Chain A
Amino acid sequence: MTQRRAEQKKDDEEWDLAMEGRLNNLAPISDFVTAAAHEAGLDDQAAFAVQMATDEACCNIIEHAYDGIEKGKIQIRCRLDGDDFVVKLKDFGRPFNPDEVPLPDLVGDLSKRRIGGLGLHFIRRLMVEVYFSFDETEGNELTMIKRGVAHKVEEAKKQATEEVDAAQKQAAARIEDALQRAARKIGRARKRAANKRSHSLK
């Protein structure tokens, strides 16, 4: 990543990356958000949704805000906020009005469908909340939220606790069983020894 002039920072619940806005940086950006999402406790499916939405948004920034030429950076900030995994993307390119992007046709005959608008459609479908803000001096910011992280972490903790309990119960049952078998064996051995003694006395 150093060859790509990335600046990366990670706190306990915050992950930052800044990269030049060019298409061959899409893969490392995807790797970065996927790793952050996994560290935050998202499952594979939710992490893939975050990766997909971020890739589409960064591709739009590079191709449209920066006109496909290397004009500036993309700042990526992922943050865990309670139950939310929040991804903020910042660029300093040309602003656009997301409401002017036509909705894609998803049901008509493909031969007659107009191609376009799928990227924004994916972002809106894959993330729970999506906000745009545009500012000529401060830059453009896209906020995308995936919800239910804490819930998933709690579920995983609960499942892990249940698995440990079950394993402990199984181990206790096995020990109890082994003790009973050992006790029976000792009983039988004592009986045999007693029988032997009574035979030898006779």
Chain B
Amino acid sequence: MEITIAQLKRCDLVTVVGRVDGNTAPDLERALRSITDDGRFHIVLDLGGTEFLSSAGLRALISTWKTARRLNRGDIVLANLSPKVDAVLDLAGLKSQFRIFPTTAEAVGSF
């Protein structure tokens, strides 16, 4: 799994490529926490290159969602989902909770 973080004007764009499973999810959680620990709470997660997302990866997403939204200070939104990742979010009942955008540009523009 490869994670790249780009600090944009109004949000941080995090791109995740590869497998997010029990082995790699802690790296994703650490990367997301490094952003919120710096006091930045507007995050776009581009999952276009994420080929696999397990419940361990979802826990990292949920934990960041809770941190970012606390005191209405921000949000983590998802973009560019593959049909498989979309199905996983649906199975976990998360599609109604996360804001999801078809493209990264739309997700960045939402902040």
A complexed with B:
yes
Residues of A within 8 A of B (CB): 23-24, 26-27, 30, 48, 51-52, 55-56, 59, 62-63, 104-107, 109-111, 113, 115, 118-119, 121-122, 125-126
- In the complex the two chains form, what is the Cα distance from A106 to B92 in whole Å? 6
26 contacts between A and B (CB under 8 A): A23-B21, A23-B23, A26-B21, A26-B22, A56-B54, A56-B55, A59-B21, A62-B22, A63-B22, A104-B92, A106-B92, A110-B94, A111-B66, A113-B62, A115-B59, A115-B62, A118-B55, A118-B58, A118-B59, A119-B55, A119-B56, A121-B91, A121-B92, A122-B55, A122-B91, A125-B91
What size tier do the contact residues of chain B reach? Answer: 20 to 34
Contact A59 B93 (CB under 8 A): no
CB of B69 closer than 8 Å to a CB of A = yes
- In the complex the two chains form, what is the Cα distance from A118 to B55 in whole Å? 6
Contact (A107, B93) CB under 8 Å given A23-B22, A26-B22, A115-B62: yes
Contact A52 B54 (CB under 8 A): yes
Contacts of B59 in A (CB 8 A): 115, 118
Contacts of B84 in A (CB 8 A): 48
- In the complex the two chains form, what is the Cα distance from A125 to B84 in whole Å? 15
- In the complex the two chains form, what is the Cα distance from A110 to B52 in whole Å? 22
Contact A30 B22 (CB under 8 A): no
CB of B97 closer than 8 Å to a CB of A = yes
